[in-house]
Amino acid sequence: MTESNNINDRPRIDRRVALKWIAAATSVPALSGVSWGAGPTPEAKGYGPDPDVTKVYQPGDFWPLTFTDAQRKLVSVLCDLIIPADEQSPSASAVGVPDFLDEWISSPYPDQARDRSLILKGLESLDEMATQHGGKDFVSLKPAEQLALCKDLAKAAKTDAKKFPGNFFLRLRDLIAGGYYTTPLGMRDLGYRGNIASIEWTGPPPEVLEKLGLSAQE
C-alpha cells in the first residue's frame, strides 16, 4: 500500500521547536566555496536594480526554473516537515515556499548559484539515503522515516555546520524559514505588526514601556 504524503498524516513539530531550529540556522556563517556542479547554471541576466513594482510577477517570469516534478515533490515534503501546519497557521508548502526556493536557486547571481549547487546535491543525497532505508526515494518513505532522516541531518549539522550534508540541511532550513516568515501569513504567525496603515500613532504599548522602565511622557 502506498504511504500517504498528506501533511495532516505527518508527525507534527512544535512551532517553537521549529523556531529554535531556525535561530540555530541563522547563527551559522554564510557558506562559501561550495561547488558540486549539480546541474547547469541558469542563463539569464536577472531583473536588474529596478523591477516594475506595480506588476505581480510569477515564478519563472525572470528566468527558467530548476526543479523537476520529483524535486518539487521532495522539496514540498521537506518544507512541511520543517514548518508544518498547526492550529493557527498553514504549512510552508501551503504558502508557496517551494516556489520561492525554486525561484531563489534559479536566479543568476553568485550567492544563489552556490545555494543551487548545495540544495540540488542535498536533494540527491536524501534520495540516496532513502534507498538505504528500503525506499524508492525520500518521498516514498513513511513520514516517521522522513522525519528521522531529517533529525540525522540536523545532528550532522550540529557536529560540523560547514560539512556536507549538515550544511545543506542548515541552508535549506534557513531558506524555508526566510520564505515562510516573509509571507503575510508567516509574519502574522510571528506577531509582526508592521506594514499596516495606521490612522494615528499612540506610541509603544504600556507593557513595553514598563519593561524598558519608561513612562508615556518620556
Inside any domain, residue 2: no
Alpha-carbon distance 18 to 26, whole Å?
Answer: 12
Inside any domain, residue 186: yes
Q: pLDDT of 136-148, one tens digit each?
A: 999 999 999 999 9
Inside any domain, residue 218: no
Inside any domain, residue 217: no
Inside any domain, residue 139: yes
Name the more confident of 37 and 45.
Answer: 45
Helix, strand, coil percentages in the chain from 3-state DSSP, rounded to 5: 50, 0, 50
Inside any domain, residue 56: yes
Which range of residues forms the domain containing residue 89? 7-212
Domain count, the chain: 1
Inside any domain, residue 38: yes
Sequence-distant (≥ 6) Cβ neighbours of residue 82 within 8 angstroms: 13, 18, 21, 92, 150, 172, 173, 176, 177
Name the more confident of 69 and 58.
Answer: 69
Inside any domain, residue 73: yes
Tell me: pLDDT of 36 over 60.
no
pTM over 0.85: no
